[in-house]
Amino acid sequence: MRLSSRLPQGFEPNALTAVLARLKAEGRELVDLTVSNPTRCGFAYPEVEIRAALSQPTVLNYDPDPLGSRTAREAIAAHHGHGLRTEDLLLTASTSEGYGLLFKLLGDPGDEVLVPSPSYPLFDWLARLEGLRAHSVPSYFHERWHLDLDALETAIAPRTRALVVVNPNNPTGHFLSQTEWRGLTELCARRGLALLVDEVFADYALEAPSDRLATALLDADPPCPVFLLSGLSKVAALPQLKLGWIAVHGPGAAAYLEALAFLADQYLSVSAPVQAAAPTLLALAPGIREQVRTRLQANLRTLDSALAPHPHLSRLPVEGGWSVLLHRPAVDPDEACALRLLEATSTLVHPGSFFDLPGDGHLVISLLTPEAIFREGLGRIFPLL
């Protein structure tokens, strides 16, 4: 069998996933402090309304538009506000698909995209599967996270095509500051790069500084092309419905959208039911987000109380998003620590190394975890850290 070199050399699970599978097979009662699937977190979804929205008569019509249905795009434009227009939007089946389309749009095989790290680990594969390379450039932490704009500029090579940022970032929660935004857009304009901004977590500001860039849409006239990505998986905590979108603004936006429509036309991957339901789902979203936000805040309070008797442990500020970085003495590598905790306490945490956190001493835990499970998990792992 000959497979494309874009694929991994093998499909073996990593050590943590392998141990997890073994413990599950042994019937261990596991506590998962990494849960990021909101449909498994005990939120009270407005089920009747969601089902009704997905079973309207119009779901039986097939009326494909490569940009996505106008009514769905109108509802998304209204959700974002800040002057976003229906015609600036293209629908996708997920943010991941959005990245795939943008990488096809902007790069040739062998080209590069720059990604400040730590960040969302999927970028590496999403880029590789389009024949591109994701080049990480470390950000640094000094009281808060900072992009290293000089290092980003130095990393730009002849084949660099775009820069990808997540605002607020996963897993660090870092919101770009308005100064960082200006620096990024000027850098991209000067060096001819597109700027991709993933704002799936933008509605989840927690301990956000006042100078944060709440959304890239606040910049009505960026000097470089800006592609904003988002979707229902975080905006309405409905990842199973598979609806994402790309908003395009800045120089050349209309021509980029025309080319994106050509790409999307080859797939037409967004289902009619979710497009028909989008206006209702977005109308229901604030109530769902409020439950998520209440959970995030409650777990953060629980974490702070649990940390108080353990002065050798601490957490980093959570400007936004669904996760928190726990800081521990780096007595062993992060992955070894996560394996040790899983074996000894049946509790799953993610090592910082999964997200390219520099050095050792960081574990990533999800603030989405149901509150009783979150408390139980912290109680199990803290004595071993």
Ligand X SMILES: Cc1ncc(COP(=O)(O)O)c(C=O)c1O
Instruction: Give the binding site for ligand X (CB under 6 A).
Output: 36, 94-96, 120, 166, 170, 198, 200, 231, 233, 239, 244
Pairing of strands 194-198, 160-166: parallel
CB of 32 to ligand X, least distance (A): 15
CB of 230 to ligand X, least distance (A): 8
CB of 72 to ligand X, least distance (A): 15
Nearer to ligand X, 39 or 305 (CB): 39
DSSP 241-289: G--EEEEEESTTHHHHHHHHHHHHHTT--S-HHHHHHHHHHHHHHHHHH
Nearer to ligand X, 120 or 374 (CB): 120
CB of 260 to ligand X, least distance (A): 16
CB of 274 to ligand X, least distance (A): 12
| Alpha carbon separation from 66 to 12, 56, 69, 270 (Å, rounded) | 37, 22, 8, 9
Nearer to ligand X, 202 or 385 (CB): 202
Nearer to ligand X, 94 or 215 (CB): 94
Query: What's the rounded Cα separation, in Å, for the pair 90 and 343?
Result: 45
Residue closest to 118 by CA, chosen among 146, 81, 88, 79: 146
| Token reading at 98 | 């959005």
Placement of tokens 């990480």 in the chain: 136
CB of 96 to ligand X, least distance (A): 4
Calculate the CA dihedral of residues 269, 275, 277, 279 and round it to 10 degrees.
140
Segment holding 10, helix H or strand E: none
Between the two ends of the chain, the Cα-to-Cα distance in Å is 46
CB of 305 to ligand X, least distance (A): 27
CB 32 within 8 A of CB 348: yes
Query: Which positions ≥6 away from 191 have C-beta within 8 Å?
Result: 153, 156, 160
Residue closest to 341 by CA, chosen among 353, 352, 350: 350
CB of 229 to ligand X, least distance (A): 7
CB of 186 to ligand X, least distance (A): 24
CB of 311 to ligand X, least distance (A): 31
Say how many CA atoms lie within 13 Å of 25 toward its Cβ: 6
CB 103 within 8 A of CB 95: no
Produce one character per residue of 144-178: b if its CB has 16 or more CB atoms within 10 Å, e if not.
Answer: bbbbebeebeebbeeebbbbbbbbbbbbbbbbbbe
Nearer to ligand X, 187 or 274 (CB): 274
Beta carbons within 10 angstroms of residue 67's beta carbon? 23
Nearer to ligand X, 129 or 189 (CB): 129
Residue closest to 243 by CA, chosen among 14, 36, 34, 90: 90
